[in-house]
Amino acid sequence: MSESFYRYLMTLRNPADHREVANFANNAFLDHAFPKQATDYHELSEYLELNAGYLPSMSVFDEAYAMYKDARA
């Protein structure tokens, strides 16, 4: 089984880092409804579009998801 996006995203958490991807990771950690087992781009993007007011732009998710895919390759 491959690592979930959430688990990967948690490796990017850093409260001292104010870049968008780190802020996304920090806020996703606080989002108790985040789909923690998901690996599918469409499932994750749908959730974030509807529920993640903390995400300033979906391009931040796209960047993080591309990093996730590269790390799994």
**pLDDT of 2:** 82
Average pLDDT, the chain: 95
Q: Domain of 18?
A: 5-72
Question: CATH code at 53?
Answer: 1.10.150.260
Please state, in angstroms and rounded to a whole number, the distance separating the CA atoms of residues 62 and 38: 15
Give the C-alpha distances (Å, rounded to integers) separating 57 from 1, 54, 61: 29, 9, 7
Looking at the predicted structure, is the pLDDT value of residue 1 above 80? no
Domain tally, the chain = 1
**pLDDT of 73:** 84
Q: What is the pLDDT of residues 26-40, one digit of tens each?
A: 999 999 999 999 999
Task: For the full predicted model, state whether its pTM sits above 0.85.
Answer: yes
The terminus-to-terminus CA distance of the chain in angstroms comes to 14
Please state, in angstroms and rounded to a whole number, the distance separating the CA atoms of residues 40 and 13: 21
**pLDDT of 44:** 98
Least confident range from 1-5, 15-19, 22-26: namely 1-5
